[in-house]
Amino acid sequence: MNQQKKNITFLYTAILYLCGFFLFLEWLYPLETISDTSNIMVFIVYTFFCFFISVFQLKWWLGFLLKGFALLFILNGLYFEGTFLSVLWMEQLNSELSYNLQALFDQQWYYLTPIFRSFLFLILIWLMSYLLHYWFVQMKRVFLFIILSFIYLTILDTFTEYDASMPIIRTFIMSFIALGIANLVKEVDKESIRFVWAKNSMGWMAPLILIVLLSAVVGFAAPKAEPQWPDPVPFIYSASKNAGSGEAGIQKVGYGEDDSNLGGSFIQDDTPVFNAFTTEDHYWRIETKDMYTGQGWVTSADPSYELQTEGAINLDTFAEGIETETVQAAIEFHGDEAINKLVYPYGISEAEGIAGVEFYLDTQSDAIEGRVNGTATNLTSYQLTYDNPSFEINALRENTEDDPADITERYTQTPDAFPERVGSLAEEITAGYESRYDKVKAVERYFSSNDFEYRTTDIPDPSEDEDYVDQFLFETQAGYCDNFSTSMVVMLRTLDIPARWVKGFTSGEIIDNEGETDIYQVKNSNAHSWVEVYFPESGWVPFEPTKGFSNLSDFYVEFDPDAEAAAEEEEPEVPELERPEQPEPELPEEDSASAETQANTASFSIKWWQIAIALAVAIAIGITVYKTRFRWQTKAITARLHNQQDAKTFQDAYHHLMKLLNHYGYGKAPDQTLREFAEQIDTHYASNEMRRLTNSYEQMIYRNDISQLSLNELTQLWKNLIKRIMG
């Protein structure tokens, strides 16, 4: 019997240790993604070897020799070219160890060689095989390592490119199997109960594995809540990619200046940038770019700054005949968010409010820079005067003039090696439209009426030989404003329609007002890019292709009463059919009541004090249940003793009695036997009930016999002692 028990115990502990081995592998798999490790299989094989040696518990010196020899053999295969264990090999190894130990003692971590780093990592695997054997096999305490594994994987999944979706599932399965086996073995050893069914391993292993697999499948297939915070990986990846460049890349949250390499993901950042005090919501413009490279935007010529005298801004983006309204606005930046360029609306005519600041307009990009004594400075607050334009749609549609030659040459440019299918798509979209305006609107509508998705994460970077627009239109069809706006500009250019790329901010969100003036808070997440199209008789007109965004510029259709009257005179009069008046149907009383109930429900709102009361009641109930837990647990066990009188129920009742005694300050000391403890309790309560219950409990445990007293008598003894304890 003892030999059979040893065999069963060895089988269980071997399975438990195997679970520990697979859990430890989940710590190794991410190395290929998060580090420069390329020979991960070598470390996995060494891990298996160390765990295999530990299972059989060889003599310590024999295990040391085997694992040490395997470690040296692996280092030889990875880094050494000479004969294994030769004199020259030994000298080279000694030299490597001496150099790296000196660097280690001097805290010069950067100078550690790959050989020594691999050596340290193999030593770590060696030690982990001993540590996990102690945790899993000897102590049966696996929970700590399981928790650490989940924390490790979730941190890697959150802050690195490693995808831990399947590793989490594998870890879940291995963890619960290990927990099930560990707890079973501990209970059997602690109680020394003979379970006949435990001899058949599959009798209990199969249900355990089935339940774990079913739980894993349900957890994998169940609907999951959307992330509550943005994914930080794109920003971390972007920051590392642009580290040391000294320039802000497009992945920079908010407004960035370098747009030469678009693509990839970024993180939404709701940090406030500035407050705008104005009566209108509109785009806040900063600059334009005119040359598309296939990967992003640059300016075709060097900046050409012109001094703007006495705060007057000489920038014309639309023609003189456009209807405008003169508006004033104020800009106030938050903290350190100020930039050295003006954010301004269409029609800007004047900027003032900063002493000693002169404004310079770049005629190449429309950027307006603030300078003090000739040096660019951050602008923290200023006032603007502008003529807010409104564009008449019929005038745009009836445009007849030709584009100036310089506009055509500069703003219809596309790269030399440009995919033809982009132009073919643009022609297909605009087929059947005659006017420039209608063609532009057709392209603008294309992005909202097709399967395009606005998204800021999981956006791939185009490769060096892949066009940014072509990738977006025909492969991903998912992206943010830069994807949409760049694609629209380039598609219009293939139709010889002058267009350019504009960047700045959207209007932001109203947070307060001062009389008729609204206060808009503009955040980093409001950084935006859009499209401007040239109309010879109107100038540069903004358009908005980004899905989910609306054009903030004002458009209208002019009404001509004379033309409308002439059209009515020419139109034949059609007699109107007379229809009897239809009374409104009266709802039955019950329907009216239902409608009233729905109206009341729709207007129902939960107040904060209602939530506070509900929370207080829930806490009070929880505290009451916890405080009275022993009383209702006692009642539940009492009911079980009356309805189901068997050994298992009595065992549970005895355990509850021990917990109750411990709760009332009469806990069993670690060095006390049950009989000694029973005598102590009987002495305290001047009875012999605890001793009689304990004798019956020991007979049941060790002899599987409860014939000394009937279960009815045991139940009565238990109830008497419970009454003494609880008063």
Say what the pLDDT of residue 85 is. Answer: 83
Say what the pLDDT of residue 582 is. Answer: 41
Least confident of 47-61, 393-407, 561-575, 698-712: 561-575
In this prediction, residue 586 has a pLDDT band, given cuts at 50, 70 and 90, of very low
| Residue from 69, 27, 60, 25 nearest 45 by CA | 25
Q: What is the DSSP string of 130-164?
A: HHHHIIIIIS---HHHHHHHHHHHHHHHHHSS---
* Domain 397-502+527-556, second-level architecture: Roll (3.10)
Read off the pLDDT of residues 301-358 as tens digits, 9 standing for 90 and up: 998 999 988 889 999 898 888 999 999 999 999 877 778 889 999 999 998 877 788 8
Task: Specify the residue for token string 């269409």.
Answer: 346
In this prediction, residue 26 has a pLDDT band, given cuts at 50, 70 and 90, of very high
Q: Which two tokens stand for residue 566?
A: 């002439």
Cβ atoms of 160 and 33 closer than 8 Å: yes
703 pLDDT more than 80: no
577 pLDDT more than 50: no
Q: Is pLDDT larger for residue 542 or for residue 58?
A: 542
Q: Which two tokens stand for residue 42?
A: 């070598």
708 pLDDT more than 60: no
Q: Which residues pair with 523 in a beta bridge?
A: 272
Say what the pLDDT of residue 573 is. Answer: 46
In this prediction, residue 58 has a pLDDT band, given cuts at 50, 70 and 90, of confident
Q: What is the DSSP string of 75-141?
A: HHHHH--S-TT-HHHHHHHHHHHHHHHHHHHTT-GGG--HHHHHHHHHHHHHHHHHHHHIIIIIS--
In this prediction, residue 113 has a pLDDT band, given cuts at 50, 70 and 90, of confident
Task: Specify the residue for token string 């979730």.
Answer: 154
- Three-state secondary structure readout of 351-393: EECCCCCEEEEECCCCCEEEEECCEECCECEEEEEEEEEEEEH
> Where, residue-wise, is CATH 3.10.620.30 in the chain?
397-502+527-556
Counting residues of the chain whose pLDDT is more than 70, the rounded percentage is: 81
In this prediction, residue 600 has a pLDDT band, given cuts at 50, 70 and 90, of very low
489 pLDDT more than 90: yes
Mean pLDDT of 163-172: 89
Q: What is the DSSP string of 560-590?
A: -HHHHHHHHHHSPP-PPPP-PPPPPPPPPHH
Q: Which two tokens stand for residue 719?
A: 């109830």
| Residue 371 φ then ψ, to 5° | -135, 145
- The CA–CA distances, whole Å, from 307 to 93, 351, 361, 423 equal 69, 13, 7, 40
Say what the pLDDT of residue 531 is. Answer: 95
Q: In 10 A of CB 358, how many CB atoms?
A: 17
Read off the pLDDT of residues 217-232 as tens digits, 9 standing for 90 and up: 777 777 767 666 666 6
